Structure 1
């Protein structure tokens, strides 16, 4: 799909999916992502930093095929070369990764770029890159198992993003079913819930429950 279609996927459903095989109750990423897709998620990020390059490549080929089947956008966290190799719909990069303009040069004009931000100064820098990047991440809202050393930015930063970001944003970090309504009230239209989804007994039911709170 093209960049515009991928961003339509971003905006079409309030839950943004991310893989976390170590928190998936022994299930494969393929199983977990298919359950996410069946529940309506249409924007999936592959985030597996501990695997070998070959293992990531082989897994992403399967996930690329699966997301195409469901008409969902497929992004790779950090690894621009992997995204290019499997024809992903884009990448999500952090503050310490390749700079957004360099990533845009590598990917060309028709792929999505998301960029993590952790405070007002980084958000304003992102605003200056509108057109180069497509959306931002805001977080971690709360303390999170997926990035244990990251400092929570709180609901105040979600509110700041709502008022000041010229780009769509996804709130991420420590978001669970019990605090999701607070993140929604702070202004997030899209949220990323990781372990609460990947570790759920019934992933599809959990996604539907979260989506109801967001709606």
Structure 2
């Protein structure tokens, strides 16, 4: 099973008043190897420019995925930025068509229900990993599905062979249970973005994850 470890979802709104780039820089310096850039309130140009800047911090150190906006991903890649994939949701275009559009690159898909997991299994050839949650209610995604809880995540993880990354108000205290239960990774937003010291918070998360082997 692919180990995605601690996975930062760098949500621009959650990083305020600190810059999103500061949070990414701290996480990558600590050793986080997966970063998803989420910019729901920015224009396409702003998101593009942020992707270019973020890629300068992650190049050669971490995978950098663009949330939802395939157009932003393609533009950043065309500009030579080291963006390595996209993460899309159930309301975005179907993964098979996303794969046709981006070609080589990582595709992550959000899934939470049995039906969504079954469809992901059918489309597994186009998908690199699943983001499964929300584990708990979270203010960073107001339209999140009904929270699964960790037990619900573990059940969902058993319904697919695809690597599953847990997400939804997670903290360092959740790392051991999730990894022991077979999670391929643990995605966090506020645990790093809202931390007083993003690098130290990332290091603690990584220590907890690695300690749960």
Q: What TM-score, normalized by structure 1, do the two folds share?
A: 0.88
**Quick check: 1:203 aligned with 2:198?**
yes
Q: Could you tell me which residue of structure 1 aligns to residue 137 of structure 2?
A: 143
Q: What count of residue pairs does the alignment treat as equivalent?
A: 204
1:59-106 per-position Cα deviation (integer Å, ceiling 9, x unaligned):
1111122211x4311110000011111112111000000110110111
Q: Could you tell me which residue of structure 2 aligns to residue 82 of structure 1?
A: 72
**Quick check: 1:118 aligned with 2:112?**
yes
Alignment equivalent of 1:191, drawn from 186, 190, 193: 186
Conserved 8 A contact 2:106-2:128 = yes
Give the deviation of 1:213 after TM superposition: 1.9
Counterparts of 1:18 and 1:114 in 2: how far apart (Å)?
12
Conserved 8 A contact 1:189-1:214 = no
Counterparts of 1:81 and 1:149 in 2: how far apart (Å)?
22
Alignment equivalent of 2:63, drawn from 51, 73, 77: 73
Q: Could you tell me which residue of structure 2 aligns to residue 100 of structure 1?
A: 95
Conserved 8 A contact 2:165-2:185 = yes
Counterparts of 1:36-51 in structure 2 under 5 Å? Answer: 36-51=27-42
Conserved 8 A contact 2:63-2:84 = yes
Give the deviation of 1:185 after TM superposition: 4.0
Give the deviation of 1:187 after TM superposition: 2.9
Cα RMSD, aligned residues only = 1.8
1:84-134 per-position Cα deviation (integer Å, ceiling 9, x unaligned):
1111211100000011011011111x1111100012221121111112111
Q: What TM-score, normalized by structure 2, do the two folds share?
A: 0.89
